[in-house]
Amino acid sequence: MTAAQQYTIERNAASAPFFDAARSGTLLIRVCPTCDHFYAPHVRRCRDGSELEWHAARGTATLVTWAVDHSPAISTELSSSDGGPPVIGIVELSEGPWMYTALPGVHPASLSDGMDMHVEFLTLGTGEPVPVFAPTVKHPESEQPR
């Protein structure tokens, strides 16, 4: 078995709500109950010191930047559209926080900054589902993202 076949994401007590929501297709981020500022999922405290709470995000974002990861692949599911190395990126969620993410199944040449993205969930091996982002295609006849 290769390292890529063994790679899994596992939960702990702190991440359980995040992964429970991911299993149902919902991306959770953090919000400060005092100032209503949004944070990425890994942040635990507001800059004012308040403990953050979980909040369901819209799951929409814009692409800030991306790169091709030429290190050994951890999973074939993360490959680019032509089976090449994975594309990783930073997206700005509609709520404001930035998230580091995989962009599986895309070719880096098809990406552009400011591109509309949406969350999808991918399970690597036997582990927990993780959020990844994909370009949102708008159909001209409806202007609704798909």
Q: pLDDT tens digit string along 90-124?
A: 999 999 999 999 999 999 999 999 999 999 999 98
| Residue (of 101, 130, 126, 129) closest to 115 by Cα position | 101
Structure tokens at 72: 């050994």
Structure tokens at 91: 């997206």
Backbone conformation region of residue 5, classed left if phi is above 0, alpha if psi is from -120 to 50, else beta: alpha
Are the C-beta atoms of 18 and 25 separated by less than 8 Å? no
CA distance 99 to 117: 12
pTM: 0.87
List the pLDDT tens digit at each of the 146 positions of the chain: 454 456 788 899 999 999 999 999 999 999 999 999 999 999 999 999 999 999 999 999 999 999 999 987 778 888 888 888 999 999 999 999 999 999 999 999 999 999 999 999 999 888 899 999 999 987 566 555 54
